[in-house]
Structure 1
């Protein structure tokens, strides 16, 4: 089968793969031919188009977005989406003519690839699959990135139209499927399946806890609770930072380690002094290095934001499970994520917006050595049983063949 993957995030560094890399590689390893068209939303100004073939055999065409500045933020975003989408459309059209693909895989938000999706949907020889990771623009409005006026209305209508173009929609959890059906007018003949986030089973680096902590100037004798990922709106950083302040104020030894970069770096930096030694920040590092670092920690933290109704399933879960870190989840009440990790025996959860309760749950779990040991041992087992990417590709192939 020839597969075209449309995405806005794909790593060109093979030692720092992202979820899209692992999915493409897995399809390729099963004998399928994968071409990735990445409209690289994070490309630096002045970047140009590049084409390369990875060691797995996956061919990647990476193009930068088209940037047009406007005094109005909404206008800037619309121009970026529309003009960049047109650029991706012209390339995808040529690829489809040349290679005769059997399936196309896209990722939400669909609006970032609007024109290619509209064009490919007309090709009845192609089976189209959307991986529904987030619910644009509902979540974006609820965390303050979108106004509730005309811009939201237009974005919602466009996203709804694009979602209806796909043959199959893959949601991350049952709560995600429920949200999809209640907020988007999908067609009766569209297939919907449940496929959680995924990761690839690879050998883990040997880690000497003392050496790793020494390398990164981390305390040797204090419990470390790690949060890894993008430092952006919607990740619940406010609760994490408040819990770190409470830990400092109460003289607790619990230390929060934040690993990552993003638009809220300044918020983390500003909190370090207020938290004393209870908050440490390390900027983003390659994934293979990141895995070794988090393995030297004691607990892993997943945070989302309060007062939203969009159920999330954070992808950082995967590496936490791989290295055997018990998970503390501070998540919105609408999600089934907290109940899910509890049912797997790998973590506990509290409701987002309760940093006091979050800190108490962290201290309680750290004090229960038997529970910590059981969760740590179950993490890698659950990863292999449920989240290994080969299971996900098999599920998706069953839906598109």
Structure 2
């Protein structure tokens, strides 16, 4: 095989396994990189983390972020009506896999703190995973103010109904849910992990904070208390998504990489 491309959609080197297992994975990925013509990372921070871990060389890497299909626009009032939400309450949404690395326990801690400052806030939890049933149990105390919706195929309604999106993860590659919410014109509050800072431009399209319930709560309350700031950040998020995260850009980046590799291989064969 003349050309081998290995793409890292994220990485498993932080927060998933024990140190021993993580070290085995790191060594295996490093070994695979030696047999790869090119390595593709979904974000610059993902690339940097891999290089720091001894996986691949900098000259092997290309950074190609994800691209998403932009969802149809839905009127806010219509979206809230479809979801059975009041029109006059602040709504926060979390979209993602309900697994340990996403820290849904932190999500619940944050909700408790936010409601102390803003009792009327509603949280929508969208997604499935091995922690779904425990989250349903742990959020019963909130009543209708926390709604665990499971998997949904109408994210356009979820994002249209929300005032901001939230990410509480301990580890991420390039989170597609944040790209989707940005493409829907939503500001975001997120933990500073992986390539999150490449999706959420801090203080411009949202707020990126340390991985603590206190920091997340402060950021959420700040945004929910300032409609003008939310609107400004949401508009900036949409522009950022339109410029950097379209499917067309994703395709163009891959075609460009493939052409570059083919030309390089042909030149090497002719030498």
The within-5 A match list for 1:2-401 is 123-124=1-2, 127-136=3-12, 138-139=13-14, 142-143=15-16, 146-149=17-20, 151-186=21-56, 191-201=60-70, 204-205=72-73, 207-250=74-117, 252-286=119-153, 289-305=154-170, 312-332=173-193, 335=194, 337-338=196-197, 341-342=200-201, 345-352=204-211, 354-401=212-259
Q: Does the Cα contact within 8 Å between 1:339 and 1:349 map onto a contact in 2?
A: no
Larger RCO, structures 1/2 (Cα 8 Å, 6+ apart)? 2
Structure 1 position 367, deviation (Å): 1.6
Q: Does the Cα contact within 8 Å between 1:245 and 1:274 map onto a contact in 2?
A: no
> Which structure has the bigger radius of gyration?
1
Q: Does the Cα contact within 8 Å between 2:188 and 2:207 map onto a contact in 1?
A: yes
Name structure 2 gaps, 5 residues minimum.
260-271
Change (3 A) 1:251 1:394: closer
Q: Does the Cα contact within 8 Å between 2:70 and 2:180 map onto a contact in 1?
A: no
* Distance across 1 between alignment mates of 2:37 and 2:222: 46
TM-score, normalising length from structure 2? Answer: 0.85
Name structure 1 gaps, 5 residues minimum.
1-122
Structure 1 position 187, deviation (Å): 5.2
Write the deviation string for residues 293-313 of structure 1: whole angstroms up to 9, x where unpaired.
2211111112212xxxx6632
Change (3 A) 1:253 1:164: farther
Return 249-258 or 368-377, whichever deviates more: 249-258
SS of structure 2 residue aligned to 1:275 = helix
Provide the aligned length of Structure 1 versus Structure 2: 259
Write the deviation string for residues 213-236 of structure 1: whole angstroms up to 9, x where unpaired.
233222332111001121112112
TM-score, normalising length from structure 1? Answer: 0.59
Structure 1 position 154, deviation (Å): 3.9
Cα RMSD (Å):
2.4
